Structure 1
Amino acid sequence: MHAAGRHALELLARLGYGARGVTYCLVGGLAVLAAIGVGGQTGGSRSALLILLERPFGWILLGIVAFGLAAFALWRVVEAITDADAYGRSAKGLATRAGHLVSGVTYGGLGASMMTAALGRGTARQAEDQGARDWTAWLLQQPLGQWLVGAVGLIVIGAGLAFAWKAWKGDVCKRLSVPHDARDWVRHVGRFGYAARALTFGLIGGFLIAAALASRSSEVKGLGGALQTLRGEPYGWVLLGLTAAGLAAFGVFGLVQARYRRIEPPDLDAARRAVKDIAG
């Protein structure tokens, strides 16, 4: 890939990390406000981003974030296919790359939905968990559908456990080139953020397993549903507040990644060879 193309891909990746960071800051910040009773909301990414439309020139802001999410989706797919971060072909490496590929598809859908809303072609407010429920309903109708949905739930819980390990023992600064005097607070913020993601992924995976056991797609809930579940527990405002603060911390960590993450855009020929290997 020419130097200009590699530089453009790096810029898109950084814009993507920033857009993901803004999204988590909004989700977490709004949920913190809800936890302490001064407004806010316990919604997912879509409902949090749509808050931007209520601000002056909000459609421009939402459009920028939507473009950034699409850029992040592109980077995740490229990263997964070309192994830009050198995870390798071990079981752990392939699982990580598969997770990035799924992440790319997910953020691509979110970016497209938000761009549609920014252009005034629908607010997408009713689509918070509907997409997940639709594919769950489809999967349940397939042979061994309940087992498949349960397997997906276990995979999501597994991802949550991986985030928990990263929060406890992982080096969250491994791929960052942050100034030495900032590493401590970046590490603490990143670990707090991953801990919150671990909890929410665990709950979302649990909802999927419940859907499999009951054979009802209505049991499926996304991030907003996970936050609302925490709010309904005893001392729920404390659980919600801590988790929401962690999600906001992950958003801040994403902004740090946008600035300081080491990004190695792949060579175009290597990317083409990787695609051919997968296709054939």
Structure 2
Amino acid sequence: MTTSPTGSPTGSPTGNAAKNSAGNAADQAKDAGRQAQDSDWMDKAARVGLVAYALIYLLVGWLAVQLALGDHEGRPSSTGALRELTQQPFRDALVWAVTVGMVFLVVWKGLEAAVGHRDEQDESKRTRKRVMSAFKAVLYAAVAISGFSVATQSSSSGGGKSSQTTWTATVMNWPGGQLLVGAAGLAIIGYGAYQVWTAWTEKFAEKLDAEGRSGQSGQAYIAFGKAGYTAKGIAIGVVGGLFCYAALTHDAKKSGGLDEALLAVLQQPFGPVLLGLIGVGLACYGLFTLARARHLSK
């Protein structure tokens, strides 16, 4: 009979009981997570979070259009959108409401990553969906952190660019840092391409329930989604391109977030027209997200 490091037999009733107890605790945790995911409160929280996310994209689209028209005051990014809310009546309440909504989305996608997608029979597809849910939870968390920073006035108006540059510069100085930044850029470009593919295959329609896909309103939602996912994919692709350019030139200042990507678009031939179209598309993504909040597919 073998013994454990503590001297107790590994096959003893005590050892088996401990294993069974740990297994039961894990099963109970999974069951609790699944119950939370399937609960009415989680459904309502997800809808509230989607409304908050829609508001972010509506404002980003508006700021992008304003930038295309020559107004350089706002920054077309999630942080810029949150700062725009601080200029409105009830500004503190609005920013906190959006921030709490983003936290709801983090919890929703976190639960999906941990215990969700049980209806998917293919193990590899279920794993991919869980990884994507985890990725989205991280993205939503970044927006929630920005919202908290804006709500507590703990970040300066120009902090987005400097923090992005600092992060990229830090990684660039690691061994193989250029390759890592370049790989990140390629991954971001790939995600942007996936968004465009989602648009033109209309795969996003799966996010709506049957009522949300039917009738004239359903056709409008699909049109919003198609324009929105296309614009979002293009904008994300430009962000990835900036990372790749920063890696090639070993210049962290060449990288940037969504606002820097849209500024790069503005500097191209017919830039104001292109940026205006992308801004309208991002606003359409916000409208589709509002439709999704109302017709959330189970």
After superposition, the Cα gap between the structure-2 partners of 1:42 and 1:53, relative to the gap in structure 1 and judged at 3 Å, is closer
SS across alignment from 2:204:
coil
Shift of 1:16: 1.4
After superposition, the Cα gap between the structure-2 partners of 1:129 and 1:72, relative to the gap in structure 1 and judged at 3 Å, is farther
Which residue pairs with 1:132 in the alignment? 164
After superposition, the Cα gap between the structure-2 partners of 1:209 and 1:38, relative to the gap in structure 1 and judged at 3 Å, is closer
Cα distance per residue 1:189-228 (max 9 Å; x no partner): 1010000011111101111111111222211111101111
The answer to whether the 8 A contact 2:213-2:222 is kept is: no
After superposition, the Cα gap between the structure-2 partners of 1:39 and 1:155, relative to the gap in structure 1 and judged at 3 Å, is closer
Cα distance per residue 1:62-91 (max 9 Å; x no partner): 11011111111222222222233755542x
Work out the number of aligned pairs and report it. 261
Q: 2:103 aligns with which of 65, 70, 76?
A: 70
Note the 1:220-231 alignment, pairs <5 A. Answer: 220-231=255-266
Which residue pairs with 1:271 in the alignment? none
Matched, 1:200 2:235: yes
SS across alignment from 2:174:
coil
Tell me whether 102-111 or 155-164 shows the greater mean CA deviation.
102-111
Distance 1:236 1:159 in 2: 23
Tell me whether 158-167 or 34-43 shows the greater mean CA deviation.
34-43
What amino acid is the match of 1:172?
F
Which 5+ residue runs of structure 1 have no aligned equivalent?
Answer: 264-280
Which residue pairs with 2:112 in the alignment? 79
Cα distance per residue 1:107-143 (max 9 Å; x no partner): 2132123123223x42442232344333322222222
TM-score (norm 2): 0.80
The answer to whether the 8 A contact 2:102-2:143 is kept is: yes
Which residue pairs with 2:139 in the alignment? 106
Distance 2:149 2:291 in 1: 28
The answer to whether the 8 A contact 1:31-1:40 is kept is: no
The answer to whether the 8 A contact 1:139-1:149 is kept is: yes
The answer to whether the 8 A contact 1:52-1:58 is kept is: yes
Which residue pairs with 1:180 in the alignment? 214
SS across alignment from 2:219:
helix
Which 5+ residue runs of structure 2 have no aligned equivalent?
Answer: 1-31
The answer to whether the 8 A contact 2:202-2:222 is kept is: no
Which residue pairs with 2:247 in the alignment? 212
Bigger relative contact order, structure 1 or 2 (CA pairs below 8 A, ≥6 apart): 1
After superposition, the Cα gap between the structure-2 partners of 1:148 and 1:255, relative to the gap in structure 1 and judged at 3 Å, is same
Distance 1:61 1:49 in 2: 9
Q: 2:81 aligns with which of 48, 56, 75?
A: 48
Which residue pairs with 2:148 in the alignment? 115
Note the 1:140-155 alignment, pairs <5 A. Answer: 140-155=172-187
Tell me whether 62-71 or 137-146 shows the greater mean CA deviation.
137-146
Distance 2:131 2:175 in 1: 24
Distance 1:4 1:209 in 2: 38
SS across alignment from 1:172:
helix
Tell me whether 190-199 or 50-59 shows the greater mean CA deviation.
50-59
Shift of 1:4: 10
The answer to whether the 8 A contact 2:208-2:292 is kept is: yes
Distance 1:85 1:197 in 2: 29
TM-score (norm 1): 0.85
Shift of 1:93: 5.1
Cα distance per residue 1:130-178 (max 9 Å; x no partner): 4433332222222211111111111111111111111112332113121
Distance 1:190 1:5 in 2: 26
Which residue pairs with 1:28 in the alignment? 61
The answer to whether the 8 A contact 1:150-1:209 is kept is: yes
Tell me the percent identity.
31
Distance 1:80 1:136 in 2: 27
Q: 2:94 aligns with which of 35, 57, 61?
A: 61
Distance 1:36 1:217 in 2: 29
Distance 1:236 1:142 in 2: 35
